[in-house]
Structure 1
Amino acid sequence: MKKNWMSLLLASLPLVLSSTAAQASSLPGGTEPLTIERMYASPALAGSSPRGLKLSPDGKRVTYLAGRKDNQHLYDLWQMDVATGKQSLLIDADKLEAGELSDEEKARRERQRIYGQGIMEYFWSKDGEAILIPAAGQLYYYSVADNKVKLLATGEGFATDARLSPKGHFVSFVREQNLYVLDLKTQDITALTTDGGGAIKNAMAEFVAQEEMGRMTGYWWAPDESAIAYTRIDESGVELVTRNEIYADGIKLTEQRYPYAGENNVKVELGVVTLKDKQVAWVDLGKDTDIYLPRVKWLPDSKHLSYQWQSRDQQALDLRVVAIDDIKNDKDLVKERSEAWVNLNDDLHFLKQQKAFIWASERDGFNHLYLIGLDGKVIRQLTSGDWAVDAVEYIDEKAGEVYFTGRKTKVTEKQLYRVALAGGKVESISQRSGMHSTVFADNKPVYLDYFSSLSQPPQVSLHDQSGKRLAWVEQNEVKKGHPLYDYFGLWQVPEFGELKAEDGQMLQYRLFKPTNFDANKQYPVVVRVYGGPHAQLVVNSWSHQDYFTQHLLQQGYIVYQLDNRGSAHRGTKFEYVIYKQLGEVEVNDQKVGVDHLRTLPYVDSGNIAIYGHSYGGYMALMSIFKAPDYFKAAISGAPVSDWSLYDTHYTERYMGNPTTNAEGYEASSVLPYVGGYESGLLMYHGMADDNVLFENSTRVYKALQDEGKLFQMIDYPGSKHSMRGEKVRVHLYRSLADFLDRELKGN
């Protein structure tokens, strides 16, 4: 009966258009099963995977942060001499005084997705003579000349968002909501602002700027060190909510200014303070104060300041420039408009040798690069086509070339390319299939390539402008002695393919077959989903999130992933279809994926589960509530359940304002669909989550209980949104594996 039903279904299914592999394959290495306990234990399975990669300004040394073998979460600062390839410990984290992070810094690190201990960030001076190291509220200064680290006297209080000034003469930092500058020559400290406190924050990024705009700072040095531009935010109009952060040994009441969708945002001002006399001049941002300030950047002459003005509905983004000596009068250089929303990016680059700048825009449907004059007129479009640029990586003005990463070769891979400022053909620089992230030297086109693929944990190598590898920083070859080697013989590489969505657009998927796959058997399936905008799961890239996938494959599961419409790197047509109603086309596309799975003879179509976290948790709920005939079980982690509970900038970007789209908000909530749920749901949430608030899950718990619906829940005391900590993750994944075995295998 099942086979007859599937054969009838074949005729109506979308066509599978391509596949890059005939079947799942394993890799050379040992065949020890991957246990959940081993997934996140030390040493790290991925081997030595440096983070915080930088080239010194003179290009003579590579610096990076590396976790220790006995504690992969404790980082020291290392260096490699480019000429000799010799690597050595530069700064031992044990030499820095350990201290407790402030609540503000803990929240900031959560927004930055920075996790770990020891040295977590560092900054080179522009002349390459020094390194600044923030550590637990203290600031340390390393001098290259004398090879010594000293603690800077920054006064009482926690110093955050510290950095070296452009010429290396000062260190700036924020303390108790005010901006300070330390003169490295005299050791004098100057408070550039004094009115910070309470609802007033100087030089600090507000919650939505950190969480949703990718702006982690609230101040910017002029290149000549004469002045600093900074934001002054007033949070008094934002609702002050008391969050209950539930820990194992008690409840912590935390007051937070949380801007719920449709409610008030902070009021933001942009000022410029001079170092010489501490005088502040305020930029006229316009009469409308209900706006966003996502980006600020100085022009190279230090006489002009640019800022990006974004409307509350995010359908308008203006690039404006003001002269410092005429700061009340601004000039529009670029106006971006959309009937849905305008995506932000970091690709504004003012040139030094001509009166022009590089600007990234999706105005033709895909993110591409434009050369624009300081008069606002487009000189030329540098890249074009039905593919997207990721980011500008380096501009070589002398050679007249722009290096950038993008998806021109394949949407599932990120490669490095080059194009002339004068226009012309886009040239490929990187060669290997996979994901390339690059870090260039300041003054020459030599770069570090952070590369990974599904079959290669992250590697770091040094390359010249042609893409030729000059040296390995970390080859990270999986061979005997590597932490992964004993397990690698069972590692599975997926098949890639395409399906057609209901509107004719193509959807990318990848399918992992189980270890020791037998085409004559039928296997249960776990659909791993995220599904939200600005994300992509179907890639040829290494990810620690795939460790649980590999564990499931060894337990006899198929794991399937499909990037539905609304996800990243496919252009605005692909993304904008979710506008004003979330959880509709995304679920429809996941159903297309399941329809495809049902045609495969080795799929047990009666035993398919869906699992996701965050937006993926939302997708898991929507899928099992709205399409219970497609999914026998669902795992929903830290889900948004009602978009009126989420923040302004993210939610209104995709949903509009609740006052003008009440119907869309109702249709996008999971709560109206609770009645469609039958069985097989597990939910989990961190009880101290300050991103997707715990209330999102408790509302679902109550709705299901009121309906008399049976489900399971696991709540983690003290855990934030990302569910960090080895013990937490081991318990979580053991619980998920046990749930899947019971629901899909009857174990």
Structure 2
Amino acid sequence: MTRHWIYSVLMAIPFSLGSAASSAQTLSGGSEPLTVDRLYDSPDLAGSSPRQLKLSPDGARATFLVGRKDNLHFYDLWQMDVASGKVSMLLDASKLQQGELSDEEKARRERQRIYGEGIMEYAWADDGKALLIPSSGKLYYYTLADGKVRLLPTGDGFATDAKLSPKGHYVTFVAGQNLWLLTLANDKLTQLTKDGGGVIKNAMAEFVAQEEMGRMTGYWWAPDESAIAFNRVDESPVEEVTRNEIYADGIKLTQQRYPAAGTANVQIKLGVIALPQQTVTWIDLGQDTDFYLPRVKWLPDSRHLSFQWQSRNQQQLDLRVVDVHSNQAPQTLVAERNNIWINLNDDLHFLKQGGFLWTSERSGFKHIYLFAADGKVTQQLTHGDWAVDSISHVDEKQGWVYFTGRKDSDVEKQLYKVRFDGSDLTRLSTQHGMHQAVFADNKAVYLDYFDSLSQPPQVSLHDAEGKRLAWVEQNAVKPGHPLYQYAGLWQLPEFGTLTAEDGQTLHYRLFKPVNFDAHKQYPVLVRVYGGPHAQMVVNSWSSQDYFTQYLLQQGIAVFQLDNRGSGHHGLRFEQVIYQHLAVAEVADQKQGVDYLRTLPWVDANKIAVYGHSYGGYMALMCKLKAPDYFKVAISGAPVTDWSLYDTHYTERYLGNPHDNAEGYRLSSVLPYIGSYQSGLLMYHGMADDNVLFENSTRVYKALQDDGKLFEMINYPGAKHSMRGNKVKTHLYKSLTDFLERQFKRQ
């Protein structure tokens, strides 16, 4: 449906965020100018930025992956001894086999946003004595006692989604679209499912589960190792399309079953394999076969299995539990309902003493609820017009729930704890910025992964009260740090708020150019994403800001505003976009430009907009629907016709195209092509399997048919994320050149 928004700006008030309060501030360090060639070269400007942080189950070791100084994309496994604070390499990735990934694993990593070589994943054994490490389709078992790593026998197939069983007796993995079991005591290999292949995928998450639901696995171990739950996916209902992946040396034709909006999804079954018998019991999922299975989780007793059942329109979400040893139908414990949509999360936690924790947005904001075993709410633990991010840890013995949230600021994520009765809500983190906590299973310590606009990611060890015990990686920007020689020119933004027409608060951040002179006028680049769940206006370190910093040194200001529809501001803020995209979003971005026009140092004739993915879509819609606001636009890998995008994402926001054809039409870029005059650059990866290249070619053809001049850059072999130093360097050189030429014309 079409909505009309009247512009009104009621306030534009910068506020303080500690060191991120003023653009007059920079970091301490040298004043060497950035170059595009340096932005994504090795070593990373962020310095030593650990990833895949874990604590051993006993809390004795912190482990993490670190990219090498000479190759930031090649990762080794490192450790810190908690008692001594000593940091050392645990395993050199060069000792493992490095080779070509299977197409399935490449796609899986693309969904996980995992990029690089060396060790990319690892898992602790439950007893803390060993690690499982996958590499190039092979599996390695590393024992800490002797420091030895051995190659596990996994057969001829490419092993993916490998897991250690909860008690450490087995390793499971998927190969050839079937589930396999390896007994570590005798290296016996057992094939647990037999019918995988072709359209049948056992123990594998389907495309939309990986890409849109955040579910990367298709099987789940019972805590006592007595059984494995798994999903069986039948892709035959999904239309098979031929997708072209264009590389520099040829074209790869890929047959893909892609569930476009309004078309059929996979058929999915949920089964339980009893061990050691290997008998399979199928769970009753109901008569409706057009549904989603976003989450599966065992209860602590290993007898009951929970699963979340989501309706096709995503307005119903049930938490159901079934006794796998009986013939009884599943019981619905929680029935979430919303006449727009329901967001998924990973916060379900079953308590050993009975009952469970669950987060819900039923109040309009995401909060934590305690449920009895029968599904009745016994306590709401958090309250207010602010959002919980996620449950980080549950300490049943001491009666605390640890979680991250936005209680103190919408643009920061802090760590808190609260008692089971909702009392004693306490903030543990102290620094302004973004905190992510990783807790040990059996000891009251946690790793705090922290970053801010003025601090690249650092990792510290803390006790249960939040006291810092040791640095794992302080990552201080001082002489010798990769950022230090550039830090003196590193600009910090001003934060502020505007008020939307419906009264809701819009957050922005504004970066002023280096050597800012209030008596001059500057061009502005509006960097936008604007899509659901995402948040750009945060006090956080991001490699995406490297290009921002480069532009600031070229005399271009950068502005970012989180329009309605984006995440972490409550359902009312997010759900305004339902059934018609790029209405409220574009109106809010226009509002941001209206604010910029009030600033005497902004050249109102030189305002450009740039975004990638949903941001690329937003850049096009801003340019086409508000050409007098945005003189120049750069659109990267945009969705341009939502009928080309997948079911789960698209139908959540636009509904089914059979029920909302006009909403789909008006949310497409194509009806607005006629308003375009000049000043557009588009780019796209030619092997993009997320936002298909066809999205851009449809716009290319429409503009060409209209005789409109524009520029395009297409990258052979590039996927949606445009990863790789060479691709990024060429891309940002091209964007800089385009902006400079366009601003000269205005």
Bin for the TM-score computed over the shorter chain? over 0.9
Q: 2:14, 2:494 within 8 Å by CA — same for their partners in 1? A: no
Question: Which whole-Å CA distance do the structure 1 matches of 2:293 and 2:519 have between them?
Answer: 58
User: Which residue in 2 is equivalent to 1:737?
Assistant: 736
Shift of 1:744: 1.3
Question: Which whole-Å CA distance do the structure 2 matches of 1:409 and 1:420 have between them?
Answer: 19
User: Which residue in 2 is equivalent to 1:558?
Assistant: 557
Shift of 1:26: 1.5
User: Which residue in 1 is equivalent to 2:359?
Assistant: 360
Q: TM-score, normalised by structure 2?
A: 0.98
CA deviations on 1:628-686 (whole Å, 9 max, x unpaired) are 00011000000000000000000000000000000100010000000111110000000
- What SS class does the counterpart of residue 64 from structure 2 fall into? strand
User: Which residue in 2 is equivalent to 1:276?
Assistant: 276
Name the amino acid aligned to 1:686: G
Instruction: Pick which of 512-521 and 91-100 moved more.
Output: 91-100
CA deviations on 1:405-431 (whole Å, 9 max, x unpaired) are 000010100000000012214110001
- What SS class does the counterpart of residue 71 from structure 2 fall into? coil
Question: Which whole-Å CA distance do the structure 2 matches of 1:425 and 1:709 have between them?
Answer: 62
Shift of 1:707: 1.1
Question: Which whole-Å CA distance do the structure 2 matches of 1:324 and 1:563 have between them?
Answer: 46
2:440 corresponds to 1:441: yes
- What SS class does the counterpart of residue 583 from structure 1 fall into? coil
User: Which residue in 2 is equivalent to 1:699?
Assistant: 698
Name the amino acid aligned to 1:105: E
Question: Which whole-Å CA distance do the structure 2 matches of 1:22 and 1:51 have between them?
Answer: 30
Classify 1:101/1:328 alpha carbon distance in 2 versus 1 (closer, same or farther; 3 Å): farther
Shift of 1:97: 1.2
User: Which residue in 2 is equivalent to 1:718?
Assistant: 717
Question: Which whole-Å CA distance do the structure 1 matches of 2:9 and 2:660 have between them?
Answer: 34
Aligned ranges 1:525-604 → 2 under 5 Å: 525-604=524-603
- What SS class does the counterpart of residue 72 from structure 1 fall into? strand
Aligned ranges 1:338-377 → 2 under 5 Å: 338-353=338-353, 355-377=354-376
2:434 corresponds to 1:432: no
CA deviations on 1:689-722 (whole Å, 9 max, x unpaired) are 0000000000000111111111000000000000
2:123 corresponds to 1:127: no
Q: 2:9, 2:498 within 8 Å by CA — same for their partners in 1? A: no
Shift of 1:83: 0.8
User: Which residue in 1 is equivalent to 2:260?
Assistant: 260
Question: Which whole-Å CA distance do the structure 2 matches of 1:14 and 1:670 have between them?
Answer: 31
Aligned residues: 736
Question: Which whole-Å CA distance do the structure 1 matches of 2:596 and 2:26 have between them?
Answer: 22
User: Which residue in 2 is equivalent to 1:218?
Assistant: 218
Aligned ranges 1:461-480 → 2 under 5 Å: 461-480=460-479
Classify 1:254/1:12 alpha carbon distance in 2 versus 1 (closer, same or farther; 3 Å): closer
CA deviations on 1:85-122 (whole Å, 9 max, x unpaired) are 11111111110011210000000000000000000000
- What SS class does the counterpart of residue 37 from structure 2 fall into? helix
Question: Which whole-Å CA distance do the structure 1 matches of 2:417 and 2:9 have between them?
Answer: 40
User: Which residue in 2 is equivalent to 1:300?
Assistant: 300
User: Which residue in 2 is equivalent to 1:71?
Assistant: 71
User: Which residue in 1 is equivalent to 2:3?
Assistant: none
Question: Which whole-Å CA distance do the structure 1 matches of 2:390 and 2:8 have between them?
Answer: 40
Q: 1:14, 1:592 within 8 Å by CA — same for their partners in 2? A: no
2:665 corresponds to 1:669: no
Shift of 1:328: 4.7
Return the match for 2:15 from 6, 19, 25.
Answer: 19
User: Which residue in 2 is equivalent to 1:51?
Assistant: 51
Name the amino acid aligned to 2:318: D
- What SS class does the counterpart of residue 163 from structure 1 fall into? strand
Name the amino acid aligned to 2:606: N
Shift of 1:474: 0.4
Question: Which whole-Å CA distance do the structure 2 matches of 1:596 and 1:447 have between them?
Answer: 43
Shift of 1:17: 3.6
Question: Which whole-Å CA distance do the structure 2 matches of 1:551 and 1:97 have between them?
Answer: 38
Q: TM-score, normalised by structure 1?
A: 0.98
Question: Which whole-Å CA distance do the structure 1 matches of 2:324 and 2:9 have between them?
Answer: 62
User: Which residue in 1 is equivalent to 2:321?
Assistant: 321
Question: Which whole-Å CA distance do the structure 1 matches of 2:731 and 2:269 have between them?
Answer: 44
User: Which residue in 2 is equivalent to 1:651?
Assistant: 650
Name the amino acid aligned to 2:190: T
- What SS class does the counterpart of residue 204 from structure 2 fall into? coil
User: Which residue in 2 is equivalent to 1:97?
Assistant: 97
Name the amino acid aligned to 1:599: T
Shift of 1:145: 1.7
Question: Which whole-Å CA distance do the structure 2 matches of 1:130 and 1:296 have between them?
Answer: 26
- What SS class does the counterpart of residue 104 from structure 1 fall into? helix
CA deviations on 1:583-621 (whole Å, 9 max, x unpaired) are 110000000000000000010001000000000000000
Instruction: Pick which of 548-557 and 18-27 moved more.
Output: 18-27
Aligned ranges 1:672-691 → 2 under 5 Å: 672-691=671-690
Q: 2:532, 2:574 within 8 Å by CA — same for their partners in 1? A: yes
Q: 2:22, 2:492 within 8 Å by CA — same for their partners in 1? A: no
Question: Which whole-Å CA distance do the structure 2 matches of 1:23 and 1:80 have between them?
Answer: 37
CA deviations on 1:38-58 (whole Å, 9 max, x unpaired) are 011011110000101111111
User: Which residue in 2 is equivalent to 1:518?
Assistant: 517
Q: 2:33, 2:486 within 8 Å by CA — same for their partners in 1? A: yes
User: Which residue in 2 is equivalent to 1:7?
Assistant: none
Question: Which whole-Å CA distance do the structure 2 matches of 1:457 and 1:12 have between them?
Answer: 37
CA deviations on 1:548-574 (whole Å, 9 max, x unpaired) are 000000000110000000000000000
User: Which residue in 1 is equivalent to 2:204?
Assistant: 204
Shift of 1:519: 0.4
Name the amino acid aligned to 1:604: D
Q: 2:29, 2:488 within 8 Å by CA — same for their partners in 1? A: yes
Shift of 1:445: 2.4
Shift of 1:27: 1.6
Question: Which whole-Å CA distance do the structure 2 matches of 1:650 and 1:142 have between them?
Answer: 39
CA deviations on 1:269-319 (whole Å, 9 max, x unpaired) are 000011211110000100000000000000000000000000000000000
Q: Unaligned regions of 5+ residues in structure 1, if any? A: 1-10
Q: 1:284, 1:327 within 8 Å by CA — same for their partners in 2? A: no
Name the amino acid aligned to 2:92: D
- What SS class does the counterpart of residue 230 from structure 1 fall into? strand
Question: Which whole-Å CA distance do the structure 2 matches of 1:523 and 1:592 have between them?
Answer: 19
Question: Which whole-Å CA distance do the structure 2 matches of 1:22 and 1:314 have between them?
Answer: 42
2:326 corresponds to 1:330: no
Shift of 1:327: 4.6
Question: Which whole-Å CA distance do the structure 1 matches of 2:95 and 2:496 have between them?
Answer: 51
Shift of 1:746: 4.1
User: Which residue in 2 is equivalent to 1:8?
Assistant: none
Question: Which whole-Å CA distance do the structure 2 matches of 1:327 and 1:492 have between them?
Answer: 64
Q: 2:8, 2:501 within 8 Å by CA — same for their partners in 1? A: no
User: Which residue in 1 is equivalent to 2:641?
Assistant: 642
- What SS class does the counterpart of residue 73 from structure 1 fall into? strand
- What SS class does the counterpart of residue 574 from structure 2 fall into? helix
Q: 1:526, 1:610 within 8 Å by CA — same for their partners in 2? A: yes
Question: Which whole-Å CA distance do the structure 2 matches of 1:611 and 1:510 have between them?
Answer: 15
User: Which residue in 2 is equivalent to 1:159?
Assistant: 159
Shift of 1:24: 3.4
Classify 1:87/1:23 alpha carbon distance in 2 versus 1 (closer, same or farther; 3 Å): closer
Question: Which whole-Å CA distance do the structure 2 matches of 1:517 and 1:463 have between them?
Answer: 40
Shift of 1:538: 0.1
Q: 2:307, 2:319 within 8 Å by CA — same for their partners in 1? A: yes
User: Which residue in 2 is equivalent to 1:612?
Assistant: 611
Question: Which whole-Å CA distance do the structure 2 matches of 1:19 and 1:600 have between them?
Answer: 17
Q: Unaligned regions of 5+ residues in structure 2, if any? A: 1-6
CA deviations on 1:425-469 (whole Å, 9 max, x unpaired) are 411000110000110000122100010000000000000111111
Name the amino acid aligned to 1:258: Y
CA deviations on 1:447-498 (whole Å, 9 max, x unpaired) are 0001000000000000011111100000000001110000000000000000
Question: Which whole-Å CA distance do the structure 1 matches of 2:513 and 2:23 have between them?
Answer: 10
